[in-house]
């Protein structure tokens, strides 16, 4: 197992380098001139030229990229804000825990609701519960998260006054953001769990379990659910990525001072290094979550430990299905 | 036949149907048969004849809906299984009646070790500690010819034949009185088929188990069974001892089955298949369901349902012309 | 247009269409989508007011007979702006998917058909793109390129590329294994001809499904970027942008937030059920 994790960690390096390359390229091709942005409109051309030289903006692309990577690896330097002139890594680390908490709570909530509803819907196919859950999940995946955020605000904060609208001071501040972010996740996970369960329930080994005289509950939990969860885990991993993307909006709607809100504020201030720094940070987080789901995978599915072939194929297949629902 | 107390299983007028939105499929259509203690009944027929449905009906595993037992009785040791509660059926399944499924490739749960899967059935039905159950499961593995050390391995580490051995171990782990084997060898290589059949036969004798062997392979039946029932379109068209069926077949379908086997002793230019296809089970004909394909059909065959004729205490056939069509398989076709 | 040709050639498409038309929910989605497209196309005719007609005396009015969805702070009719907004959303959704389809599809076909080193290089690049959640990638690209409709389409399109690359690659690889492709090669057909005549038609079904669902997610992404201020420049009406404005009036004029969001949801919903319906129609085995 340790060997497998090491291998996966090594495989992550080129992917993360690639992500950094994308982010850096985006910074490089942006039409706005960093020196201009930092110095403001009042700067003289000489000042701009001097700063350009100082920032290394006249170096070739690859040299600049090398320095960027070197900065991240050796000094943990994700760049300097054009707006405040301070290194952004401090800001990112300060805000990361809020985003991580928000995403973790939402994933846990959506996984619990999604899996439970999916299993019940599949075992009682075509029942009222199944139809209702399927219909709600269809609406759930179709609803843009920021609109849901506004509507929940409107209902629970403005009209009913039960919950606070913005900030992050106590647990009650987290309810609406977590529900907002969790909704589409729960809907997607439910859809995947349902279809995966329906597929697994028809398998011969489920009939074998019944033929042993096993109780229906054990057939569902011990035999069916464990198998059905394999693609669901992939979906949960993908949902985590969607949540990180969604957190950008939800945090800014609910004024939670996390990475997402930082990024959005940076967009408004046209502070590109801060935007890309947050994106890179979130992408790295996502990669680690993916690694985690892969490891979880190999715990549930014994076929993966012996050969890595099926895992990738299964993951791709599941990911394909999951993406269709991801919105 | 035998005396009543020697009959382990008696199926009377069993009817099973599947109802879909558009149609009603009569998969099993009033069949009756008996399995005496310690004997083996071969249930023979084409794909779709209702053999597996019959087996699932006895196990109480017909998926409801769309399936439904529409009538009849299944007397096991004199008690009607159809009247049992789900909990009572669970106590019988795996303990007193076991089933081996057709495809060993998919019959085992891919994420549990084979040992755990054998252990599961033992723990369900026998009051053994975890430790004792594991020991018993290893014993079962050895019994079917797999080293006990492979207890902790997963199904994907086994070949098809080995998997079927594991399935057999699961089925026999609690020494059932009745074993239903649904085409246990169809999915296996020919050489492995013989091994698995031999194993099943030996274990059956050792443990005194009765068996229903579902197959479409008349060769397998000849090696294994005492009694044979020929199924066609949800009905038993002919039933009797091995000798009744192999030497004195009366029903044109049974004869057709034998004729479609190439005979090495007689020089033949070509195979003699039965012409046509089985009728659509959602629209069965009024009369004999084999009539549309039957070379001997008369107007009477298609007019009304055909009852069963008892030819001898052991031999019955469902054919209007049973009396005229006497003679063994050497009778040939008209 | 293209569909009719396909139907005449091979009956499987006919079957798919007839299975699709029996799926009530999917048909509902198709009809609603058609209505939405028509209302966007004929917004000029249907809208009671111009998209930027200001009337300050009518500012911030709730829904009424004259202004079905109310008015904003400039007194612009929200109903008209929602209709016009559909143009932007649908255009962005379709163009973004088209961009993704062209790039992703080409890469996927090359990777799947050529295989070997080329395949692994392309797919590694796709893996890198996949490592960034799609929405974040779109935000990053849009932030870097600057606000604007065109940039938004590029941003969303690039985020979608890996999905199509993978799906076409998988479809091409499974089609490539078929004997009719071997047969075509045996008759001396060239690579391009084999791809165009024999592989693509058989790989197209999953791509259509993915594209339908992709338009849905692209419309959401478009609304999101506009909501963040990275979308179309004002005064172009856009659903996400309208919601962004409505946020400031949530306490006092909630109606402003309701209607544009409802339209996004209805559009995305109808595309989603259509996509699901298409998938079930193409592969009935998955549905029971």
- Per-residue pLDDT tens over the stretch B242-267: 888 888 878 888 888 887 777 666 66
Q: What is the mean pLDDT of residues B164-193?
A: 84
Bridge partners for B211 per DSSP: B40, B179
**pLDDT of A215 higher than 90:** no
- Using CA coordinates, name the residue in chain B closest to A215: B90
**Which residues are bridge partners to B68 per DSSP?**
B17
Q: Is C131 close to A287, i.e. CB distance below 8 A?
A: yes
Q: DSSP state, C77?
A: B
Both tokens assigned to B254: 């049974």
How does residue A132 score in pLDDT terms, banded at 50, 70 and 90? very high
Q: Is C152 on the interface with A (CB under 8 A)?
A: no
* Residue B242 buriedness (CB in 10 A; 0-12 / 13-18 / 19+): middle
B123 touching A (Cβ < 8 Å): no
Q: Which chains touch B (3 or more CB pairs under 8 A)?
A: A
Band (pLDDT 50/70/90 cuts) for residue A305 is: low
Please report residues of C whose CB lies closer than 8 A to that of A287.
131
Q: Which residue has the higher pLDDT, B280 or B84?
A: B84
Q: Give the ranges where chain C is alpha helix by DSSP (H).
A: 2-9, 11-22, 24-41, 43-46, 78-114, 116-130, 134-145, 149-176, 179-186, 191-193, 200-227, 239-247, 255-282
pLDDT of residue B263: 67
Neighbours of B48 (CB within 10 A): 18
Instruction: Note whether A26 contacts C: Cβ–Cβ < 8 A.
Output: yes
**How many beta carbons lie within 10 A of that of residue A97, not counting itself?**
11
Residue B327: Cβ within 10 Å count: 12
Q: What pLDDT is recorded for position C285?
A: 57
CB contact under 8 A, A158 and C230: no
Count of alpha carbons within 13 angstroms of residue B164, beta-carbon side = 24
Give mean pLDDT, residues A106-119: 94
* pLDDT for the residue B251: 83
Contacts of A213 in chain B (CB under 8 A): 89-95, 121, 124-125
Does ipTM surpass 0.85 in this model? no
Cβ pair C200, C146 in contact under 8 A = no
Answer yes or no: do A267 and C268 touch at CB < 8 A: no
Residues of C (217-276) whose Cβ lies below 8 Å from A: 217, 220, 223-224, 227-230, 240, 243, 246-247, 250-251, 254, 257-258, 261, 264-265, 268-269, 272-273, 275
Q: Do B170 and A205 touch (CB under 8 A)?
A: no
* CB interface of B with A, residues 50-69, below 8 Å: 59, 61
CB of C119 closer than 8 Å to CB of C111: yes
From chain B residues 100-119, the ones with a CB under 8 A of any chain A CB are: 101, 103, 106-113, 117
Above 70 in pLDDT, residue B333? Answer: no
In angstroms, the separation between the Cα of residue A308 and the nearest Cα of chain B is 14
Q: Is the Cβ pair A245, C139 closer than 8 Å?
A: yes
Q: Which of A254, A258, A264, A257 is nearest to A156 (CA)?
A: A254
Compute the distance between CA of residue A262 and CA of residue A280 in angstroms, rounded to an integer.
Answer: 13
The full length of chain A comes to 327
pLDDT exceeds 60 at position C10: no
Provide the strand spans (E) within B102-153. none
What pLDDT does residue B5 have?
55
pLDDT band at C265 (very low <50, low <70, confident <90, very high): very high
Other residues' Cβ atoms within 10 Å of the Cβ of residue A182: 27
SS3 A73: helix
Q: What is the pLDDT of residue A110?
A: 93
- With touching defined as 3+ CB pairs under 8 A, do chains A and B touch? yes
CA angle B57, B61, B63 (to 5 degrees): 100
Q: Mean per-residue pLDDT for A242-269?
A: 84
Of the pLDDT bands very low, low, confident and very high (cuts 50, 70, 90), residue B269 is low
Question: What does the block give as tokens for C125?
Answer: 């690049």
| C4 pLDDT more than 60 | no
Please report residues of A whose CB lies closer than 8 A to that of C264.
144, 147
Question: For the segment B275-308, what is each residue's pLDDT rounded down to a tens digit?
Answer: 777 777 777 777 788 877 877 777 777 777 777 7
Looking at CA atoms only, how far is residue A248 from chain C in angstroms? 8
Say yes or no to pLDDT of C2 above 50: no
Give C 51-110 residues with CB within 8 A of chain A: none
* Cα–Cα dist A30/A17, whole Å: 20
Instruction: Quote the pTM value.
Output: 0.82
């Amino acid at each position: 197992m340790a060997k497998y994790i090491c291998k996966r960690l090594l495989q992550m390096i080129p992917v993360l380098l690639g992500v950094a390359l994308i982010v850096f390229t985006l910074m490089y091709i942006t039409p706005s001139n960093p020196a201009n942005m930092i110095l403001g409109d009042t700067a003289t051309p000489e000042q701009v030229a001097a700063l350009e030289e100082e920032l290394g903006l006249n170096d070739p692309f690859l040299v600049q990229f090398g320095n960027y990577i070197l900065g991240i690896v050796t000094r943990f330097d994700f760049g300097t804000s054009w707006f405040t002139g301070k290194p952004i890594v401090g800001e990112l680390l300060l805000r990361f825990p809020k985003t991580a908490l928000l995403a973790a709570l939402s994933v846990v909530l959506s996984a619990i609701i999604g899996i439970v509803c999916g299993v019940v819907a599949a075992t009682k196919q075509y029942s009222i519960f199944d139809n209702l859950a399927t219909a709600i999940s269809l609406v759930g995946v179709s609803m843009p998260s920021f609109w849901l955020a506004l509507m929940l605000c409107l209902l629970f904060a403005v009209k009913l006054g039960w919950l606070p609208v913005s900030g992050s001071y106590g647990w009650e501040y987290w309810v609406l953001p977590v529900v907002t972010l969790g909704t589409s996740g729960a809907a997607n996970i439910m859809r995947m769990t349902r279809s995966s369960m329906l597929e697994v329930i028809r398998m011969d080994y489920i009939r074998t379990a019944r033929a042993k005289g096993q109780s229906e509950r054990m057939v569902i939990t011990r035999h069916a659910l464990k198998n059905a969860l394999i693609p669901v885990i992939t979906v949960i991993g993908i949902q985590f990525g969607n949540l990180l993307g969604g957190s950008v909006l939800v945090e800014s709607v609910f004024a939670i001072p996390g990475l997402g809100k930082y990024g959005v504020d940076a967009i408004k201030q046209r502070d590109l290094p801060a935007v890309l720094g947050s994106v890179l940070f979130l992408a790295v987080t996502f990669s680690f979550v993916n690694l985690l789901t892969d490891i979880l995978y190999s715990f549930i599915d014994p076929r993966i430990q012996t050969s890595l072939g099926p895992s990738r194929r299964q993951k791709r297949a599941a990911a394909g299905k999951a993406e269709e629902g991801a919105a | 036949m035998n005396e009543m107390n020697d009959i382990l299983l008696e199926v009377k007028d069993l009817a099973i149907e599947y109802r879909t939105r558009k149609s009603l499929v009569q998969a099993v259509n009033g069949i009756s048969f008996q399995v005496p203690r310690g004997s083996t009944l071969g249930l023979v027929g084409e794909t779709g004849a209702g053999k597996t449905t019959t087996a699932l009906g006895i196990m109480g595993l017909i998926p409801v809906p769309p399936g439904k037992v529409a009538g009849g009785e299944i007397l096991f040791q004199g008690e009607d299984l159809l009247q049992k509660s789900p909990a009572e059926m669970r106590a019988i399944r795996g303990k007193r009646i076991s089933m081996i499924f057709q495809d060993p490739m998919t019959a085992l749960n891919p994420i549990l070790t084979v040992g755990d899967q054998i252990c599961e059935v033992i723990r369900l039905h026998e009051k053994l500690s975890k430790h004792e159950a594991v020991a018993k499961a290893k014993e079962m593995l050895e019994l079917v010819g797999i080293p006990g050390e492979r207890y902790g391995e997963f199904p994907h580490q086994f070949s098809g034949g080995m998997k079927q051995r594991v399935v057999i171990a699961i089925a026999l782990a609690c020494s059932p009185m009745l074993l239903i084997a649904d085409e246990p060898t169809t999915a296996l290589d020919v050489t492995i088929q013989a091994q698995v059949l031999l194993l099943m036969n030996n274990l059956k004798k050792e443990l005194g188990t009765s068996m229903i062997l579902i197959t479409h392979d008349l060769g397998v039946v000849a090696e294994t069974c005492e009694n044979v029932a020929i199924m066609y379109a949800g009905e038993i068209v002919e039933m009797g001892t091995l000798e009744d069926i192999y030497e004195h077949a009366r029903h044109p379908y049974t004869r057709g089955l034998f004729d479609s086997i190439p005979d090495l002793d007689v020089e033949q230019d070509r195979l003699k298949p039965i012409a046509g296809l089985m009728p659509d089970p959602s629209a069965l004909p009024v009369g004999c369901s084999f009539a549309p394909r039957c070379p001997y059909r008369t107007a009477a065959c298609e007019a009304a349902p055909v009852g069963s004729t008892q030819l001898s205490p052991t031999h019955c056939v469902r054919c209007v012309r049973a009396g005229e069509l006497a003679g063994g398989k050497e009778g040939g076709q008209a | 247009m293209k569909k009719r040709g396909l139907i005449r050639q091979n009956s499987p498409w006919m079957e798919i269409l007839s299975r699709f038309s029996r799926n009530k929910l999917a048909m509902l989605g198709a009809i609603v989508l058609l209505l939405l497209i028509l209302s966007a196309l004929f917004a000029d005719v249907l809208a009671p007011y111009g998209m930027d007609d200001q009337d300050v005396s009518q500012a911030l009015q709730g829904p009424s007979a004259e202004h079905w969805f109310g008015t904003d702070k400039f007194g612009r009719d929200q109903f008209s702006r929602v209709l016009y907004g559909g143009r932007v959303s649908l255009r962005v959704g379709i163009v973004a998917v088209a961009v993704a389809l062209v790039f992703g599809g080409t890469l996927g076909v090359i990777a799947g058909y050529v295989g070997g080193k080329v395949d692994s290089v392309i797919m590694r690049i796709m893996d890198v793109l996949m490592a960034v959640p799609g929405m974040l990638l779109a935000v990053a690209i849009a932030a870097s390129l600057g606000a604007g409709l065109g940039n938004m389409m590029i941003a969303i399109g690039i985020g979608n590329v890996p999905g199509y690359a993978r799906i076409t690659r998988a479809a091409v690889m499974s089609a490539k294994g078929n004997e009719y492709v071997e047969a075509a090669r045996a008759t001396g057909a060239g690579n391009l001809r084999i791809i165009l005549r024999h592989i693509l038609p058989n790989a197209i079904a999953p791509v259509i499904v993915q594209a339908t669902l992709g338009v849905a997610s692209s419309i959401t992404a478009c609304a999101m970027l506009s909501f963040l201020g990275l979308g179309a420049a004002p005064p172009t009406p856009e659903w996400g942008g309208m919601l962004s404005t409505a946020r400031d009036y949530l306490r006092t004029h909630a109606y402003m937030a309701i209607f544009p969001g409802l339209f996004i949801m209805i559009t995305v919903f109808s595309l989603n059920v259509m996509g699901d319906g298409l998938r079930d129609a193409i592969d009935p085995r998955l549905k029971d």
